[in-house]
Amino acid sequence: MTDALLSVRNLRVEFPTRRGILTAIDDVSFDIMPGEVLGVVGESGAGKSLTGAAIIGLLEPPGRIASGEILLKGQRIDNLDAESMRRIRGKRIGMVFQDPLTSLNPLYTVAQQLIETIRTHADISEAEARTRAVALLDRVGIPAAARRIDDYPHHFSGGMRQRVVIALALCAEPELVIADEPTTALDVSVQSQIIDLIKEICAERGAAVMLITHDMGVIAETADRVAVLYAGRLAEIGPVREVITAAEHPYTAGLMGSIPTLTQDNARLVQIPGAMPRLNAIPQGCAFNPRCERAFDRCFRDRPDPIDRGDGRKVACWLYDAAGVAAKEKADV
Amino acid sequence: MSDALLKIAHLTRYFDVSKPWLNRVLEREEKQFLTAVADVSFEIRRGETFALVGESGSGKSTIAKMVVGLLGASEGLIEFDGHRMTGTAGAEMRDLRRRFQMIFQDPFASLNPRWRVGDIIAEPIHTFGLLKGADVTKRVGELLDTVGLSSKDAEKFPHEFSGGQRQRIAIARALSSKPEFIVCDEPTSALDVSVQAQILNLMKDLQDEMGLTYLFISHDLSVVRHMANRIGVLYLGRLVEVADGKRLFTDPQHPYTRMLLDAVPDLALSGRRRKPVEGEIPNPINPPPGCAFHPRCPLAMPRCKVDAPVPVQTATGHAACFALEKQTA
Amino acid sequence: MNRLARMWDSDIAWSFRHSPVAIVATVVALIIIMGAVLAPWIAPFNPFDSASLNLMDGFTPPGVPNQFTGNTYLMGTDNQGRDIFSTILYGARISLFVGFAAVVFSMVLGIGLGLLAGWRGGWVDSLLMRIADVQLSFPSILIALLIFGLARGFIPPTMREEVAIWVLIVSIGLSDWVQYARVVRGAAMVEKSKEYVQAARVIGMHPTRIVLRHILPNVMGPVLVIATIGLALAIIAEATLSFLGVGVPPTQPSLGTLIRIGQQYLFSGEWWIILFPSIALLLLALSVNLLGDWLRDALNPRLR
C-alpha cells in the first residue's frame, strides 16, 4: 500500500449551507500507482471534479475537507498551508482543466508562462528554460513551436490551446497530472488527438494521470483503472477492461448499457430509471437504491462499503457481500 | 420521393460578421461574411428520422433554425409538406407552424423559470387556440403523463426538476400542438448518459406512437446511429455525405465521415487501431478554396484545392468528393 | 398559509432574517412611511392649514414653552409658527409621494424603452442608447432643473401651484429613466437569446406578447434593486429641488422646503428648524438605500 503515488483515504468533502451540511464526497478511498492512468467517471454532481479539486487543494469555499487523508508518496498534503500546497501544485502535480482559456493567462505570451513555470521549479537560466519550453511545445504537437511560442493564448485554436495547457502542466515534470474533463470543450475530431497526446506523453515521462471525465469512451481508450463515482460515493473501482466488459455494480452496468455505441444493434437503450439524487436527498442505505432493480431490504437499511472482489476490483454493493448473499440464500430456501 | 415532408433545396445562409461601419471605414476593411450553410439540399420523408451530424461550425444548428423559421435563409428553398415556408404568412403560416415544433439543447434555458410547468406546456395550445378552459388542464395532464411525469407536476416551477425531467417538459410542450414534425437540436448533449438513454428511448417511443418525423441534430455519432434512418454529414456548412443510417457506419464514403468515425472512442475495447486524425476545423470566415476538407484529407488531389466537388451517387445516398468520382468512373 | 410558509423559507427571506442592517433599515423606513401616511391622524397640528397658524408661535425652541403663547412643541416651530414635528410628517408625505411617483414614472419609461431597445436591436437600440449616453453626461439634477424650468414656461401661472407637484414628478422621473433602460436592455438581450424565447418564436407568438409575458418577468430582479436605490435618489432629488426653491410650493412644505427655510436661520441660533428635517431626510434616504444594497446582494447569487 505504501508504494502508491497518491493515496486518498476516506475523503469526505462537505458544503455547509443554511439548510444543513451537504456531503458532496462521502468516504471515498483510492490509490494511484506511479505511472498509472486512473479514470474517474461519474455523472454531473457525482463529485468527480470535487475529488480532483480536493487533492490539489483548490476546493472553492465554503467547501472543505471534513475528514480523511490525502497522501502523496506517503506524505500528507490535505493539511498543508497555502504556500506549501502551491509549491506542490505545478511542481509535483500538474493540472489540465476543461476550458483551456481559464488555465492560461491571456495577458502573457505562451513563452512567458512556460518559462516562468519551468524556472519556478527548476534552477536554470532563462535561455535554457526557453529551449526546454520550445522542445515541450514541439512534443505536444504545436507546429513551428519556436515561432509560435511568443504568441498569446488567444492566437491559438481550442485544440492547440489545450496542447499548450498540457505542456504547461508537464513542464515541471510532475509525478501526477490531474486532467479534469480535458476534452469536453473540444470537437470530436480534436478530442481523440488530445486523448492520445495525454496518454503518450505521460507514459513517456512516467507521470501518473488522474483522468476525470463523464465520457466512458475516453476512459476506455485511455485509463488503466477506472473509479466510478455515484452521489459522492465510490461505486466501483477496478481495471478498465474488466469494469467495462463485466461491470459488477448495478449502476455501472446500467451506465454502460445506456451508452449508444457504434456496434450495438438493439432498438432500445438500457435505461436507469430516475436521476441521481440531489445532495440534500441522498436516501438511507445505498445511494443507488431507488434506481436499482436488484435492490433488496439490506440496501435500504445499510450503506455498503467497497467490497474487495480480488484482482484489484472493489464494488460497493451488498450483492457481492459473501456473508450477506449466503444469508439471503438461506432465507430464500 | 413524393412522400417527402420536408424538402430543402440549395439552402444557403450568410452572416455579416463585419466590424461596425466606422471601424471599417477607418481601417479600410471590406465587409466580411461568414458562410454558415452553403448550398445544402436534402429531403426528409414522413415518419423517418433524418440526422445532421457535424462538429462546431458545421452549420447544423443554423439549418435547424432556418427550418423552424427562427432564421431567414439567404438563398434556397424550404418546403414543408408542399408549402413554401418563405413568403407564406398569415393564417396559412399559422397552420404550418402548428405542424412543426422544436426541442432545444439546454433544458435549463428552454423553460421560462418564472412560469409554472402547466403554463409552459399549454403555451402552444393557447397560442394556436386549440383548446379552452378545463380541456387545457386535462390535455396538459395527459401530456405530462405521456412523457413520464405526473399531472401534479403542472403546478411546479422548472427549477424543481432535474435536467432530464426538464427535457421531458420541453418535449411535452413540443407535443402539445400535435405536430407532425419536430426539429431536435442536440436534445441530449446537455444531459448525463443515463438520462440521455431515457430521453432517446422516450423520443423513439413517441415517434412510433404518433408517427412523428424528426430532424435530429447532433455532434455525437453514436447517438445519431441509434436514432436516425438517414444521416447527413456536414463540414463547414457543406453537406459532404448523405447515407442510410447503418450504411454510413459500415461503408462510409467521404474521407471526412471516415475520419469522424475513427475519432469515436472505442467503448467495445476491440483494440482497433485508430488512424490519427489530422488538423483542426479551419476558420469558417476564410474556408479553404475548392473542397473545404482538402487540408485535412488523406486523399487530397491537386484538383481538390481548386474546384468544389459536386455530390456523386452512392449506394444509399450521395457524397461530394472527387476521389469517389474517380472510383466510379 | 402554505404560500406564506414557502415565502418565509425562501432564500430572500432567509437572507433578510440574517441581515441586521436590512431589518433595522426596514423598521426605520417603515416608521417614517407610516408616520407620513398617517400624518393627518398622528400629527398634533396641520401645518398646511394656514388659518390655524399663529405667527406669535414662531421660533419656539424644542421642548420649551413659547414666550408669548406658552405653547410647547416637541421639535419647536419654524418662522411661521408651524410645528416642526407635524411639518416633518406632512413633509415626508410629500417627499415620499413625489419619490414613489417619480420612480414609477421613470421605471415605466425606462423599462419600456429598454425592452424596445433590447428586443429590436439595430438602429432603434443605437438611437435610444445614444440618447441615454447624452443624458448620462449631464448630472441628473441639472436635467431635472432644466425640465422643470421648461415645463413652467409652458404652464399658465394660475395653474402652476396646482400642477407643481406633477411637474416635479415628471422632471425627476425623466432625469432618471436611463438607468432602468440600460439595465433592462442588457437583461432583455440576454433573455432574448435564451431558448425559451426561441421556443415561443417557433410557435409564432406575437413579439409584444413574448416581450411582456416572457422577457419582462425575467428582467424585473435588477430593476427592483435600481428602483429601491432610485427611490432614495428621487427623494433626495426632490429635496434638492425644493431646497433650491423650485420644487413644491412653500405652502405645502416638503422636507427639502423645511431645510431651505431652516438654513436661513442656522446662524441666528434657531438650529432646530434645519436639524430635525435634515435628520428625517437622512434617515429616510439612508434606510431606503441600505435596503437597496441588501436587495442587490440578496438577488446576486455570486455574492451569496
Q: What is the ipTM of this complex?
A: 0.86
Residue A165 lies in a domain: no
Domain count, chain A: 1
A255: which DSSP letter? H
- Rounded average pLDDT over A135-155: 88
Whether the Cβ atoms of residue C147 and residue C170 lie closer than 8 Å to each other: yes
Q: What is the pLDDT of residues C146-187, one digit of tens each?
A: 888 888 788 887 777 778 888 889 889 988 899 999 999 999
Q: Which residues of A281-317 are buried (b: 16+ CB within 10 A; e: fewer)?
A: ebeebbbbbbbbeebeebbeeebbebbebeeebbbbb
Q: What is the pLDDT of residues A246-255, one digit of tens each?
A: 899 999 999 9
Could you give the angle at the alpha carbon of B25 between the alpha carbons of B21 and B27, nearest 5°?
A: 115
Q: Could you write out the three-class secondary structure of B137-201? A: HHHHHHHHHHCCCCHHHHHCCHHHCCHHHHHHHHHHHHHCCCCCEEEEECCCCCCCHHHHHHHHH
Q: Is there a contact between B112 and C218 if contact means CB atoms under 8 Å apart?
A: yes
Distance CA(C170)–CA(A104), nearest Å, equals 51
- Determine phi and psi for A316, rounding to 5 degrees: -95, 80
Is residue C8 scored above 80 in pLDDT? no
Is residue C275 scored above 80 in pLDDT? yes
CATH code of C249's domain: 1.10.3720.10
Percentage of chain C beyond pLDDT 90 is 33
Residue C11 lies in a domain: no
- Rounded average pLDDT over C205-211: 92
Distance CA(C255)–CA(C232), nearest Å, equals 13
Percentage of chain B beyond pLDDT 70 is 95
Is residue B271 scored above 70 in pLDDT? no
- Rounded average pLDDT over B29-40: 87
Residue A26 lies in a domain: yes
Q: Which residue in this structure is represented by grid cell 441660533?
A: C269
List own/partner pairs for C275-280 with CB under 8 A and 24 or more apart.
Answer: C276/C62, C276/C75, C276/C76, C276/C84, C276/C85, C276/C88, C277/C84, C277/C87, C277/C88, C277/C91, C280/C32, C280/C88, C280/C91, C280/C92, C280/C255
Is residue A1 scored above 50 in pLDDT? no
Q: Which residues of B250-274 are buried (b: 16+ CB within 10 A; e: fewer)?
A: eebbbbbbebbbbbbbbbeeeeeee
Q: Which residues pair with A239 in a beta bridge?
A: A225
Q: Is there a contact between C204 and B123 if contact means CB atoms under 8 Å apart?
A: no
DSSP letter string, A76-123: E-TT--HHHHHHHHHHTEEEE-S-HHHHS-TTS-HHHHHHHHHHHHS-
- Select the more confidently predicted residue: A332 or B250: B250
User: Cell numbers at residue B52, please?
Assistant: 445532421
Residue C33 lies in a domain: no
Percentage of chain B beyond pLDDT 90 is 54
- Select the more confidently predicted residue: C56 or A44: A44
- Select the more confidently predicted residue: C174 or C1: C174
Distance CA(C128)–CA(C121), nearest Å, equals 10
Q: Which pLDDT belongs to residue C304?
A: 41
Is residue C290 scored above 80 in pLDDT? yes
Residue A187: enclosing H or E segment and its boundaries? none
User: Cell numbers at residue A174, please?
Assistant: 510532475
Is residue C102 scored above 90 in pLDDT? yes
Distances (CA, A) of C23 to C7, C233, C288, C304: 17, 21, 11, 18
Residue C201 lies in a domain: yes
Domain count, chain C: 1
- Rounded average pLDDT over C130-157: 86
Residue C4 lies in a domain: no
Q: Which residues pair with A17 in a beta bridge?
A: A20
B195: contact with A, CB 8 A cutoff: yes
Length, in residues, of chain C: 304
Q: What range defines the domain where residue A309 resides?
A: 6-92+174-332
Q: Could you write out the three-class secondary structure of chain C? A: CHHHHHHHHCHHHHHHHCCHHHHHHHHHHHHHHHHHHCHHHHCCCCCCCHHHCCHHHCCCCCCCECCCCCCECCCCECCCCCEHHHHHHHHHHHHHHHHHHHHHHHHHHHHHHHHHHHHHCHHHHHHHHHHHHHHHCCCHHHHHHHHHHHHHHHCCHHHHHHHHHHHHHHHHHHCCHHHHHHHHHHHHHHHHCCHHHHHHHHCCCCHHHHHHHHHHHHHHHHHHHHHHHHHHHHHHHHHHHHHCCCCCCCCCCCHHHHHHHHHHCCCCCCCHHHHHHHHHHHHHHHHHHHHHHHHHHHHCCCCC
B127: contact with C, CB 8 A cutoff: yes
Residue A155 lies in a domain: no
Count CB atoms within 10 A of the CB of residue B192.
23
Q: Is there a contact between B110 and C217 if contact means CB atoms under 8 Å apart?
A: no
Q: Which residue in this structure is represented by grid cell 512567458?
A: A112
Residue A314: enclosing H or E segment and its boundaries? strand A313-315
Q: Which pLDDT belongs to residue C303?
A: 45
Q: Which residue in this structure is represented by grid cell 411617483?
A: C101
Is residue C258 scored above 90 in pLDDT? no
> CA of B183 to nearest chain C CA: how many angstroms apart?
11
User: Cell numbers at residue A90, please?
Assistant: 505545478
CATH code of A46's domain: 3.40.50.300
Q: Which residues of C touch B117 (CB under 8 A)?
A: none
- Select the more confidently predicted residue: B141 or A270: B141
Q: Is there a contact between C202 and B69 if contact means CB atoms under 8 Å apart?
A: yes
pLDDT-derived band at B1, boundaries 50, 70, 90: very low
Is residue C248 scored above 70 in pLDDT? yes
Q: Is there a contact between C204 and B94 if contact means CB atoms under 8 Å apart?
A: yes
Could you give the angle at the alpha carbon of B73 between the alpha carbons of B284 and B283, nearest 5°?
A: 5
Distance CA(B189)–CA(A44), nearest Å, equals 13
Could you give the angle at the alpha carbon of A146 between the alpha carbons of B286 and A157, nearest 5°?
A: 35
Q: Which pLDDT belongs to residue B274?
A: 64
Residue A156 lies in a domain: no
Q: Could you write out the three-class secondary structure of chain B? A: CCCEEEEEEEEEEEEECCCCHHHHHHHCCCCCEEEEEEEEEEEEECCCEEEEECCCCCCHHHHHHHHCCCCCCCEEEEEECCEECCCCCHHHHHHHHHHEEEECCCCCCCCCCCCCHHHHHHHHHHHCCCCCCHHHHHHHHHHHHHCCCCHHHHHCCHHHCCHHHHHHHHHHHHHCCCCCEEEEECCCCCCCHHHHHHHHHHHHHHHHHHCCEEEEEECCHHHHHHHCCEEEEEECCEEEEEEEHHHHHHCCCCHHHHHHHHHCCCCCCCCCCCCCCCCCCCCCCCCCCCCCCHHHCCCCCHHHHCCCCCCEECCCCEECCHHHHHHHC
Range with lowest mean pLDDT among B179-193, B245-259, B313-327, C198-212 = B313-327
Q: Which residues of A touch B197 (CB under 8 A)?
A: 257-260, 269-272
Q: What is the pLDDT of residues B82-109, one digit of tens each?
A: 888 877 778 888 888 999 999 999 998 9
> CA of B297 to nearest chain C CA: how many angstroms apart?
36
Q: Which pLDDT belongs to residue B327?
A: 63
Residue A188 lies in a domain: yes
A57: which DSSP letter? T
Residue C221 lies in a domain: yes
Whether the Cβ atoms of residue C87 and residue C81 lie closer than 8 Å to each other: no
Count CB atoms within 10 A of the CB of residue C140.
21
A23: which DSSP letter? E
Range with lowest mean pLDDT among A87-101, B245-259, B268-282, C13-27 = B268-282
Q: Which pLDDT belongs to residue A227?
A: 96
Q: Which residues of B touch A268 (CB under 8 A)?
A: 201, 204
| Nearest-by-CA chain B residue for C221 | B114
Residue C154 lies in a domain: yes
Chain A with chain B: Cβ pairs closer than 8 A:
120
Q: Is there a contact between C198 and B105 if contact means CB atoms under 8 Å apart?
A: no
Q: What is the pLDDT of residues B105-126, one digit of tens each?
A: 999 899 999 899 999 999 999 9
- Closest CB to A188: pick one of B201, B260, B268: B260
Q: Which pLDDT belongs to residue B76?
A: 92
- Select the more confidently predicted residue: B231 or A326: B231
Q: Is there a contact between A220 and B55 if contact means CB atoms under 8 Å apart?
A: no
Q: Dihedral of the CA atoms B168, B174, B177, B180 (nearest 10)?
A: -110
Mean pLDDT of chain A: 87
Q: Which pLDDT belongs to residue A252?
A: 93
Q: Which pLDDT belongs to residue A98?
A: 80
- Closest CB to B259: pick one of A43, A189, A268: A189
Distance CA(A98)–CA(C172), nearest Å, equals 50
Distance CA(C234)–CA(B291), nearest Å, equals 64
- Rounded average pLDDT over A208-229: 91
Q: What is the gyration radius of the CA atoms in chain A, in angstroms?
A: 21
Is residue B328 scored above 60 in pLDDT? no
Backbone CA torsion sign across B216, B217, B221, B223? negative
Is residue A333 scored above 70 in pLDDT? no
Q: What is the pLDDT of residues B17-33, one digit of tens each?
A: 877 777 788 888 788 88
Residue A13 lies in a domain: yes
Residue C189 lies in a domain: yes
Residue C235 lies in a domain: yes
Residue B103 C-alpha from the chain's centroid: 10
B273: contact with C, CB 8 A cutoff: no
Q: What range defines the domain where residue C218 resides?
A: 77-287
Mean pLDDT of chain B: 89
Q: Which pLDDT belongs to residue A317?
A: 92
Q: Which residues pair with A94 in a beta bridge?
A: A177
Q: What is the pLDDT of residues C28-76, one digit of tens each?
A: 999 999 999 998 888 888 877 777 777 777 788 888 888 777 778 888 8
Give the amino acid at A256. Answer: M
CB-based contacts of A58, cutoff 8 Å, min separation 6:
A89
